Copies of this chain bind each other. A is one copy, B any other.
Amino acid sequence: MRVSDKNIGRLSLYRFLLDTLSNEGITEVYSHELATAANCSAAQVRRDLMAVKYPGSPAHGYAVDKLVEGIDNFLNPPEGVQVCLVGVGNLGRAMLDYFTSRRPKLHIIAAFDCNAALFNRVIQGVRCYPMTRLGEIIHEKNIKVGIITVPTDAAQEVAELLIEAGVAGLLNFAPIRLKTPTHTFVENIELTMSLEKVAYFSNVHKTKHEARKP
């Protein structure tokens, strides 16, 4: 089975729903329960979970804790993925806060900024370094993913520095299309698009088109 962008997205979503169930003390879950929560069919859930290769049982469905483990192992390599963040402004701090202890195998282990007042400060458990040490630290700590939360003007330059230093994937919050080599994976967070979707599908437009959940 080809594993697509959408499969990964749904697996991440199931993972999140399973966390919620786990917190409620629920130990078993059926495909149709995850389907309801994720807004898709039970067959879809079973199909997605096939990629994870964690088998369910006709009698008991899936064991919540084992399934979480299975999805984690599938999505992230066992040794974990080292992540850095560039741009410790409001958005950067919010992201350091957001990602703290959300996934055991995704570690933000360094932040970079050009503001000297931040050097060596620890924010949300992450140490802040000057931009000049970016290449050195990425090499040393084997960082493979970079989160870009710098102002738009600086984003392209930062992307190039990160790629040059050996990062293979970027999560980009700046509203520009980064020019990157084809072997680099870029995920753009398109916030304007998201707000525009909400504005469009809110009943403001009810007269034109029927609002619906996609």
Contact = CB atoms under 8 A, between A and B. Distances in A.
Interface of A: 3-5, 8-9, 12-13, 16-17, 20, 37, 75-77, 81, 83, 89-91, 93-95, 97-99, 102-103, 106, 144-145, 147, 167-171, 175-177, 182-183, 185-187, 189-205, 209, 211-214
Contacts of A198: 145, 169-171, 185, 187
Contact of A189 (B16, B183, B189, B211): B189
Given A77-B204, A171-B194, A187-B194, 13 more contacts: A5-B214, A12-B192, A17-B177, A81-B202, A95-B191, A98-B175, A99-B191, A106-B195, A106-B199, A168-B211, A169-B201, A183-B211, A187-B195
Nearest to A167: B202
A202 B168 contact: yes
Contacts of A93: 90
A46 to B, nearest CB: 20
B144 A37 contact: no
B13 A190 contact: yes
